Amino acid sequence: MPDLWMPGATRLDIGDHAPTDGGPAKAIAHITWDVNATAGKPKPLVPYERLRDYFGKNSAGKAVASHILWDPFTGRIAQFLPANSRSKSLADRAGGTRTNRAGSVVIQVEALFFPYCVVGGKTYARLADTPCEGWAELNAWIRSWGVPDAWPNGAPTSKSNRNATNWASKPGWYAHADVPENDHNDPLSWPAFVSAPKPPATVPKPPAPVKYEPYPGASFFMNGTRPALGKRSPIFTAMGKRLVAVGCGRYKVGPGPELGQADVDSYEAWQRKQGYSGAAAKWPPGRTTWDALKVPNV
């Protein structure tokens, strides 16, 4: 299940939780718009702390609190209700769609912004022009609740589109201005959706190259003119296992690190399998048949 409380957000639970009605998952875009300003008379942005405390502690603010207060200039986020509860930021007329509950979730976001606010000596006419700090994380969290990156009634502009059919049937983001039964015209703009990161392509690692035991020379296998029976080496164990693997093992016990007659018999069977006969198939191993056996390096 997704997180009821957005990771990293300040949690100010105001209580008064209530379930939603089910249906298409929705998110509602608002701006606080607590001050009116113009291009000719821009005004300072209201402090984040003031609105956080208004929604989180003031009884009048709690009555209209959204789920989220988002400061796009710093990335600070406060959450007042869990994602699966309704909030009360939308007008809800009696007898119509229950706007605040009309979805499996109806997550409402108040962006701390009004047109022509001044922050750091700069005037911002549109929310989309702000730094939009924290938006990627907020977008991802809301997406995790099944809200797609889509605007069924159109992306926020100065015009409203309160298409009730879309509202009832299509999941996605809705501007406050585009919700049935409401008469506000915010948020006017909104940042572009942030694409979900694609999982890194899993490229299978190539298998580590197998190293084979180089041919140690005929003398390694001989004691003068006789097989070096009784000589110990891990090479003999590796050789014997390969002889068993290729169907030439003549072992009752082993193979092991001590050269025995079973090793000699097995290797001679391998050399015959490679097409040698008579004296050419006899012990000791030759370079060609040794390389063909592919004895793992020890």
pLDDT of amino acid 202: 79
Instruction: Between 201 and 206, name the one with better pLDDT.
Output: 206
User: How confident is the model over 190-210, as a mean pLDDT?
Assistant: 83
pLDDT in tens, 16-42: 999 999 999 999 999 999 999 999 999
14 pLDDT higher than 90:
yes
> Which token pair is 112?
């701390």
pLDDT in tens, 203-262: 788 888 889 999 999 999 999 999 999 999 999 999 999 999 999 999 998 899 999 999
The string over 122-138, giving b where at least 16 C-beta atoms fall within 10 Å of a residue's C-beta and e elsewhere, is eebebbbebebbbbbbb
- Please tell me the distance from the alpha carbon of residue 43 to that of residue 35, in angstroms, as a whole number: 8
3-class state of residue 108 by DSSP = strand
User: How confident is the model over 166-174, as a mean pLDDT?
Assistant: 98
**What proportion of the chain, given as a percentage, has pLDDT over 70?**
99
3-class state of residue 122 by DSSP = strand
pLDDT of amino acid 201: 77
Mean of the per-residue pLDDT values of the chain:
95
3-class state of residue 11 by DSSP = strand
Least confident of 70-84, 156-170, 196-210, 234-248: 196-210
- Please tell me the distance from the alpha carbon of residue 281 to that of residue 181, in angstroms, as a whole number: 96
197 pLDDT higher than 90:
no
User: How confident is the model over 163-168, as a mean pLDDT?
Assistant: 97
6 pLDDT higher than 90:
yes
CB 242 within 8 A of CB 261: no
pLDDT of amino acid 31: 98
Write down the residue that tokens 């193979």 correspond to.
Answer: 255
CATH class of 10-178: alpha beta
